Amino acid sequence: MSDKRFFTVGKLVNTQGLRGEVRVISTTDFPDERFKVGNQLYLFHPSLTEPLPLTIASRRQHKEFELISFQGFTSINDVEKFKGGELKIPEEALMELEEDEFYIHQLIGCDVVTDEGEELGKIVDVLQPGANDVWVVKGKRGEILLPFIDDCIKEVDIAAKRVVCHLLEGLL
C-alpha cells in the first residue's frame, strides 16, 4: 500500500461517549460524501505501521465536529488509541471537480507567470481565509499572495503546471 497516494479528509481529535464514536474535524469540501455510512477511510496514526482501513457505521454532526463510528469498533476502549490520527482516502477516490476547480495538491509546485511574461515563482501553499482562496507564490520577488479571483488568475494549466496571472495594484 506504500505506493498509493492518500489525501487527508479529517483529523480524529477525540472520542465521543462510550459506544465507539469519535470526533473528527473535517478537512474536506465534501463531508457528506466522504463520511457517508458504508464508505471506507484509512486511519494513519503514529502507532500504526500500515494504514488501517475503517468502514463508517454511523455519522452525525455536532457543532464543528463529525461524530463517526466504525464497523467493528463499538466501545470507547476500541477507538481511544485512534486519537490524534488522520483519516484519509486513496487518490482514486478523489471526486471529479467542476471546470476551474482544483485540488490543492494539483496547484502546489505550479509555475506562476504574469500576463506580461514575468516569472514570479512557484505556488507553495493555498490559504483558505474565507471569501476566496489565496495562493502563496515564492520566487525572486519573495512571497506574493494571489487571490483566486477572475481579475487576478487568468489561466490555470494543471497538465503543464503553469498559472498565468494579472498583477492587481497593491499585490507587490
Give the domains, in start order, of the chain with CATH numbers: 6-93 (2.40.30.60), 104-165 (2.30.30.240)
DSSP per-residue letters across the chain = -TTS-EEEEEEEEEEETTTTEEEEEE--S-HHHHT-TT-EEEEE-TT-SSPEEEEEEEEEEETTEEEEEETTB-SHHHHGGGTT-EEEEEGGGPPPPPTT---HHHHTT-EEEETTS-EEEEEEEEE--SSS-EEEEEETTEEEEEE-STTTEEEEETTTTEEEE---TT--
Residue-level pLDDT at 2: 54
Residue range 92-149, pLDDT digits in tens: 888 888 887 888 888 999 999 999 999 999 999 998 887 888 999 999 888 999 999 9
The mean pLDDT of 51-60, rounded to a whole number, is 96
The pLDDT of residue 55 is above 90: yes
The pLDDT of residue 12 is above 80: yes
